Amino acid sequence: MKNLRNLLIFLVVLGLAVAACIGPVLLLSGSGIPVAFPHVQLPPEALTERPILGVPGFYLTNTLLSLLIADLVVLILALIAGSAARRRLKLYEANPKAVDAEGDDLMVPKGWHNTFEALIEFIYNLANQVVGAEWGPKVFPIAVTIFLVVLTANWLHFIPLVDSVGIMHCAEPSKGVVGYIPVEIGHTGIYRLGFEEDNRIFPSGQTSAVCPEHGAEGDTAHGAGEGEQAVDESGIRVVVTPFLRTAATDLNMTLGLALVAMVSVQVFGVMKLGPSYFFRFFNLPALSKGFVGVIELAVSVLEAISESIKVVSLSLRLFGNIFAGAVLLMVISFLIPVGAPLIFYLLEVLIGALQAFVFAMLTLVFSSVAMAGHGDHAGEHH
Amino acid sequence: MEITGEALKQVAQLLGAAIAIGLGTLGPGIGIGLLAMGAMQSIGRNPEAAPLVQTNMILAIALNEAVAIYALVVALVLVFVGVG
């Protein structure tokens, strides 16, 4: 009977997968809703008209919103795991010999508590292994926070509606943006992007309901190059700005995270070695060794440059991986809408997790290098 | 016929992006291959050390791939932001 049940479950899941791939094509082909290919741009798109919090130039961008949601998700998941752990601990302290409903000892974690503890313990063991048992618990919080936040921010991309649903607004042809003509779905008053080539719903002289301030002749393209037919004169072009966009596709976010990580590395160095940590970058004590000391001084200045480059490297690694992944997903969805995006979604899941792990691991490694002191301690190993 | 002005800018952008990503992934490709070769050899020699070797290999591959990502970022900036 178990085999029959498993076979049934497998067939149901397979049927759902096939229906998800083919269903939209069959059901929606009449309405002509294709896969959208929104405008790709490097800087994040602002969701508000005016700067928020009174700071000039600080807009609520879609990546900021996505990062806040990722933070909230991590907080909630951690609180759930923590409260489950505390409940179990209270039961255990009341009666150490008790067993729970499944007959296991109370010290055995279950459910979400178990999963979260596995994630945290993975980074905790890594921290102890890289930094050493004495300083591991001190370096561990920043590493695990970076890991969890980046992991959640990357994996948030796979929830439906993220990075696809958004505000439709007028494209700006002067910036070389090729928009699409808005098409009304039936008589609902809901508009979608029209990708059909022969879509000429705004002949010259008429204005659009979606972009009332742009006249039909007002959008002749200058940015697409003379003689090219990228934007024609009769269309009022619109693009979609997603409400949520993967947080790590924003260079601001990755740069901020890298700065926080490298500053905390310096802090750990000072915590362990005291102010003499800064002799790592300006090796004055080496001058006492004579002429060779001058070369060591120069080398230590190079070390300072290398440390600042690590900020660039950390931020660009995460940004490049995730932004390229997002663009890849968009392009593949446009080329082969049925089936192929699944493979690339799996790739992006792997890349997202790997980049989160690499960021945390590099923070740990840099902390361990900083706490080891400058070159005089040969044979220091972790 | 000459290519001037706006068209020249576009040609330069796209060509620059293609060359950047094309040449930029040569080095990291070879580097990652060398890393994996070393890891495979050491796992073959000492299968018990496989988890240790694997963790360090993944870390080193991610660092190596970052160099290819720098080239990719240059290409992306050329295509999506472009020259002034």
Q: What is the pLDDT of residues A144-162, one digit of tens each?
A: 999 999 999 999 999 887 8
Of all residues in chain A, the one with the smallest CA distance to B11 is: A225
- CA A40 to CA B70: how far, in whole Å? 19
Mean pLDDT across B16-45: 95
Task: Evaluate if residue B17 carries a pLDDT over 70.
Answer: yes
Residue-averaged pLDDT of chain B: 89
What are the structural domains, with CATH classification, of chain B?
Answer: 26-84 (1.20.20.10)
pLDDT at A316: 93
Top mean pLDDT of A110-114, A347-351, B49-53 is at A347-351
A12 to chain B, closest Cα gap in Å: 36
Which tokens in the block code for residue A336? Answer: 């082969």
Asked if residue A379 belongs to a domain, the reply is no
Asked if residue A338 belongs to a domain, the reply is yes
pLDDT at A227: 32
- Lowest average pLDDT, out of A16-25, A291-300, A353-362, goes to A16-25
Q: Does the beta carbon of A358 lie under 8 angstroms from any beta carbon of chain B?
A: yes
Residue numbers in B near A310 (CB within 8 A):
none
Mean pLDDT across A297-309: 87
What's the Rg (C-alpha) of chain B? Answer: 19
Mean pLDDT across B49-54: 88
Angle between helices B5-24 and B26-45 (to 10 degrees): 10
Asked if residue A327 belongs to a domain, the reply is yes
Considering only residues A302 and A151, tell me which one the structure prediction assigns the higher pLDDT: A151
Residue numbers in B near A323 (CB within 8 A):
73, 76
Asked if residue A174 belongs to a domain, the reply is no
Domain membership of residue A355 as a residue range:
248-371
Contacts 24+ apart (CB under 8 A), A330-335: A330/A37, A330/A38, A330/A40, A333/A35, A333/A37, A334/A35, A334/A37
Residue A239: strand, helix, or coil: strand
pLDDT at A381: 43
Closest CB to A40 among B72, B80, B82: B80
pLDDT at A378: 43
**Contact flag A324-B76 (C-beta cutoff 8 Å):** yes
B44 to chain A, closest Cα gap in Å: 24
Residue pair B61/B36 in contact by the 8 Å Cβ criterion:
yes
Task: Evaluate if residue A177 carries a pLDDT over 60.
Answer: no
pLDDT at A380: 41
* Beta strand A166-170 pairing with A181-184: unpaired
Asked if residue A61 belongs to a domain, the reply is no
Closest CB to A316 among B6, B73, B81: B73
Residue pair A193/A238 in contact by the 8 Å Cβ criterion:
yes
Mean pLDDT across B13-27: 94
Q: Give residue B76's pLDDT band: very low, low, confident or very high (50, 70, 90).
A: confident
Mean pLDDT across A255-279: 93
Asked if residue A225 belongs to a domain, the reply is no
Counts for chain A of helices (H) and strands (E), in that order: 7, 4
**Contact flag A225-B10 (C-beta cutoff 8 Å):** yes
pLDDT at A165: 77
Of all residues in chain B, the one with the smallest CA distance to A357 is: B59
Mean pLDDT across B40-51: 93
Residue numbers in A near B7 (CB within 8 A):
225-226
* Count of domains for chain A: 1
pLDDT tens digit sequence for A221-266: 333 333 333 334 445 567 778 889 999 999 999 999 999 999 999 9
**A-B C-beta contacts closer than 8 Å:** 45
Residue numbers in A near B72 (CB within 8 A):
320, 324
A361 to chain B, closest Cα gap in Å: 8
Question: Residue A9 phi/psi, 5° resolution?
Answer: -60, -45
pTM: 0.80
Q: Does the beta carbon of B3 lie under 8 angstroms from any beta carbon of chain A?
A: no
Task: Evaluate if residue A209 carries a pLDDT over 60.
Answer: no
pLDDT tens digit sequence for A310-334: 899 999 999 999 999 998 988 887 7
Asked if residue A123 belongs to a domain, the reply is no
Task: Evaluate if residue B34 carries a pLDDT over 90.
Answer: yes
pLDDT tens digit sequence for A121-143: 999 999 998 898 999 999 999 99
Closest CB to B59 among A40, A320, A358: A358
pLDDT at A374: 63
pLDDT at A197: 53
Q: Does the beta carbon of A230 lie under 8 angstroms from any beta carbon of chain B?
A: no
Partnered with residue A250 across adjacent β-strands are: none
**Contact flag B62-A40 (C-beta cutoff 8 Å):** no
pLDDT at A232: 41
B63 to chain A, closest Cα gap in Å: 8
Which tokens in the block code for residue A228? Answer: 């090219």
Q: Give residue A204's pLDDT band: very low, low, confident or very high (50, 70, 90).
A: very low
pLDDT tens digit sequence for A164-175: 777 777 766 555
Asked if residue A330 belongs to a domain, the reply is yes
Helix (H) or strand (E) holding A134: none
Task: Evaluate if residue A213 carries a pLDDT over 90.
Answer: no
Partnered with residue A193 across adjacent β-strands are: A182
Residue-averaged pLDDT of chain A: 79
Looking at chain B, the whole-number percentage of residues with pLDDT higher than 70 is: 96
Q: Does the beta carbon of B63 lie under 8 angstroms from any beta carbon of chain A?
A: yes
Closest CB to B69 among A40, A320, A362: A320
